[in-house]
Chains A and B, each alone.
Chain A
Amino acid sequence: MMHPNVARLEKFLDAYAAMDGPAIRDCLADDAVWHVGGTHRLSGDYQGAASILDYFETVSNETGGTLHLEPLELIANEERGAAFLRVVGDRGGHHLDVTMAEAFQFDEDGRISEFWAHATDQDSIDRFWS
């Protein structure tokens, strides 16, 4: 049977696709931490839901809403989740098409409290945001 936290991951990804701020906020713990890998100018740790929402908004604005996340598989249990996603987008003449492996930690209310990830091609992500 599908764990409820898989549905929570789906809800988060749907909210992200729609760039629905309040719905995204509902998925995040107040003190959530978002680790963005790589060596580009958006890389680093985003602490707290407000800071994470600002980061998502920056990504959406800079890609003109072209960034698309296609879930390949979502897995979760009570405490943790894994998302395997194809990520496609365009920005300033750069085209991005990578597969991400993303790790999630949930708090006791099923909200995302920590996120970290890695891509099949981190260099292309670094170039995309250069």
Chain B
Amino acid sequence: MGDKAERLMEAMTLVSKGDVDGFGDLLLADDVTWHWPGSCSVSGEYNGRAEVLELLSGFHRLTDGRLQVVPIDLLEGEDHLMSFTKVTAESEDGKLDVIMADAMRFDETGRVVEFWTLSNDQTAVDAFIG
């Protein structure tokens, strides 16, 4: 595992403990941009660390305890990293079962400056998040 993957893993451990600010300090550049696809309530573009952390906090509130996220693969290159997860959930409206890919571009300090969230079934994700 390379430096970028190690930093991501460490940041994910922090966020799983509810330390969203710690996640941001460790992983995100000040001028990070996060691109969230689709047409649900969190879709759009988030500019700067504060906006991105607000997105993450809001997303955790929206999905609190309802998502099972299982890491399945991680591809690390020179400047980029892509993390694949299987995301499942059950709700009154039905089941969610998608593969998500979080794509990241790192700056020279080893922090993420651009972040894309990709899903192989965006319609299902939109319907689940609402």
**Contact indicator B105/A84 (Cβ below 8 Å):** yes
Interchain CB contact under 8 A, B35 and A80: no
Min CB gap B129→A, angstroms: 15
Residues of B within 8 A of A122 (CB): 35, 37
Q: Are B114 and A120 in contact (CB under 8 A)?
A: yes
What chain A residues lie within 8 Å of B38 (beta carbons)?
37
C-alpha gap A50/B78 in the complex (Å): 34
Residue contact B75 to A118, C-beta cutoff 8 Å: no
B45 to chain A minimum Cβ distance, whole angstroms, is 8
List residues 62-108 of chain A with CB under 8 A from any CB of chain B: 72-77, 79-82, 84, 99, 101-103, 105
Cβ < 8 Å to A, chain B residues 68-108: 73, 75-80, 82, 84, 99, 101, 103, 105
Q: Which chain B residue lies CB-closest to A74?
A: B77
Inter-chain CA distance A121–B45, complex, in Å, is 8
Question: B79 to A116, Cβ gap below 8 A?
Answer: no
Quick check: is B39 within 8 A (CB to CB) of the other chain? yes
Q: How far is the CA of A70 from the CA of B73 in the complex (A)?
A: 25
* Chain B residues whose CB sits within 8 angstroms of the CB of A121 once the complex forms: 35, 45
Q: Is B57 part of the binding interface, using a Cβ–Cβ cutoff of 8 Å?
A: no
Count residues of chain A with CB under 8 A from any CB of chain B: 29
Instruction: Say if the beta carbon of B128 comes within 8 Å of chain A.
Output: no
Q: Are B75 and A120 in contact (CB under 8 A)?
A: no
Cβ–Cβ < 8 Å partners of A105 in chain B: 99
Residues of A within 8 A of B77 (CB): 73-75, 82
Which residues does B use to contact A, with CB under 8 Å? Answer: 33, 35, 37-39, 45, 73, 75-80, 82, 84, 99, 101, 103, 105, 114, 116-122
A residues contacting B by CB (< 8 A) are 33, 35, 37-39, 72-77, 79-82, 84, 99, 101-103, 105, 114, 116-122
Report 6 cross-chain contacts, Cβ distance below 8 Å, ordered by A residue.
A38-B37, A103-B84, A103-B118, A116-B118, A118-B35, A118-B117
